[in-house]
């Protein structure tokens, strides 16, 4: 039996599952605001993993990922502790906004402090109550509003434990990503808690493909860490051989106008290839948007109305085109769940 686990003054003993409302500052109406946390404490000791979403309040795909994760029957037998925080930026979530009411970006406000700005206080609370109690973390994000990301993991691949989690997530795109100052990932790293970021889809939308890949990814990490049992050999999926993206670049609009995209997210592209065309409202004055390097489209705009200089496509560079093509193929044509995960999830909406 592991030790009792305490968050927000509430103790969750081995074998218990509890939902805790972590008090945060009141709304301006003086209505109390709390952060919902669910803790599942296995009977056997093991890693303590937090999974959070909506650090950016409008990035809601991860909320659904956590919701579905928590329905999995397999969690009854976990080793260690799962700490699920579906909505971190509760203020942004209720106002459909990325940032807090003080306009600060929570993911640039870590580590924050108990006497700092609103965002700084939330960062500090998350670090002291959640991160400090955990050994590993998964931070779920989406692209910004009108910006779509192909399902991808961002992580520091030079750190062994982080790289192990990144690969176990099982999406074909793994991006080696430096630490951004003020981010949760950086603050957790300073406390020796490895954190990977899952980026998929866009803000204020549910994307069924991205959600399913996310649930499967978190389960994959939990298995790798020994928190969940490996599936039987017959049911085990062939691991995807991910492509490791070491650098990326944004392609910007060469002129203002209306963009017609010529390639989808996740497609391999060649230097000089056509990514799209920008024209005026009559379809005249067409200018091609050309790809600056060989790579893969890892993100892009969903908004066809563009100004000169707008970021249109995010291109990742990697090595080994054949491996990449195989990995993407396997991922997109895979039965989305192995049978073992299916029973509690069979009322899912179709991928449309």
The site for Zn ion (CB under 5 A) is made up of 56, 59, 141
Pick the closer one to Zn ion by CB: 41 or 56: 56
Strand ranges inside 179-310, DSSP E: 195-201, 243-245, 247-252, 257-261, 268-269, 274-279, 287-290, 295-301, 305-306
Pick the closer one to Zn ion by CB: 184 or 296: 184
Q: Please give the helix or strand (H or E) that residue 129 lies within, else none.
A: helix 118-129
- Kindly provide the b/e burial profile for residues 262-271, where b requires at least 16 CB atoms within 10 angstroms of the residue's own CB: ebebbebbee
Which of 216, 95, 203, 97 lies closest to 143 in space, CA to CA?
203
Pick the closer one to Zn ion by CB: 59 or 64: 59
Those residues with Cβ within 8 angstroms of residue 158's Cβ, 6 or more apart along the chain or in another chain: 176
Which of 223, 229, 155, 230 lies closest to 193 in space, CA to CA?
155
Pick the closer one to Zn ion by CB: 129 or 199: 199
CB of 45 to Zn ion, least distance (A): 32
CB of 59 to Zn ion, least distance (A): 5
Pick the closer one to Zn ion by CB: 105 or 334: 105
Measured at CB, which residue is nearest to Zn ion?
141
**Termini Cα distance of the chain:** 44
Pick the closer one to Zn ion by CB: 48 or 185: 185
CB of 246 to Zn ion, least distance (A): 22
CB of 60 to Zn ion, least distance (A): 11
CB of 180 to Zn ion, least distance (A): 11
Strand 247-252 with 268-269, pairing: unpaired
φ, ψ for residue 351, nearest 5 deg: -80, 120
Give me the DSSP letters along 172-191.
Answer: SEEEE-PPPTT-HHHHHHHT
CB of 142 to Zn ion, least distance (A): 6
Q: Residue 255, Cα to own-chain centre: how many angstroms? A: 32
CB of 83 to Zn ion, least distance (A): 19
Pick the closer one to Zn ion by CB: 129 or 202: 202
């Amino acid at each position: 039996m592991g030790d009792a686990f305490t968050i927000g003054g509430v103790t969750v003993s081995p074998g218990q599952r509890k939902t805790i409302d972590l008090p945060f500052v009141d709304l301006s109406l003086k209505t109390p605001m709390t952060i919902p946390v669910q803790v599942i404490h296995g009977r056997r000791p093991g890693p303590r993993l937090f999974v959070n979403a909506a650090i950016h309040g409008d990035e809601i795909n991860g909320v659904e990922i956590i919701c579905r994760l928590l329905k999995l029957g397999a969690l009854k037998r976990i080793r260690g502790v799962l700490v699920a925080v579906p909505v971190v930026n509760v203020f942004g979530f209720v106002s459909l906004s990325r940032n807090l009411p003080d306009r600060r970006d929570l993911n640039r406000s870590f580590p924050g402090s108990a006497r700092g700005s609103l965002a700084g206080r939330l960062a500090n609370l998350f670090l002291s109550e959640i991160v400090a109690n955990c050994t590993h973390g998964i931070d779920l994000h989406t692209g910004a509003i009108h910006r779509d990301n192909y399902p991808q993991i961002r992580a520091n691949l030079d750190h062994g434990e982080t790289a192990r989690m990144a690969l176990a997530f099982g999406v074909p795109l793994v991006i080696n990503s430096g630490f951004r100052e003020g981010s949760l990932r950086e603050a957790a790293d300073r406390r020796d808690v490895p954190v990977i970021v899952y980026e998929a889809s866009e803000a204020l939308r549910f994307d069924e493909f991205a959600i399913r890949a996310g649930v499967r990814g978190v389960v994959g990490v939990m298995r790798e860490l020994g928190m969940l049992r490996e599936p039987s050999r017959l049911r085990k999926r062939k691991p995807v051989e991910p492509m490791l993206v070491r650098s990326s670049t944004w392609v910007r609009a060469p002129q203002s106008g209306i963009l017609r995209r010529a390639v989808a997210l996740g497609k391999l592209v060649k230097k000089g290839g056509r990514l799209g065309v920008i024209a005026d409202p009559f379809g005249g004055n067409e200018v091609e948007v050309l790809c600056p390097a060989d790579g893969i489209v890892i993100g892009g705009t969903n908004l066809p109305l563009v100004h000169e200089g707008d970021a249109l496509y995010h291109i990742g560079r990697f090595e080994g085109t054949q491996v990449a093509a195989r990995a993407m193929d396997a991922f997109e044509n895979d039965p989305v769940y192995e049978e073992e995960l299916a029973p509690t999830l069979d009322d899912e909406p179709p991928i449309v």
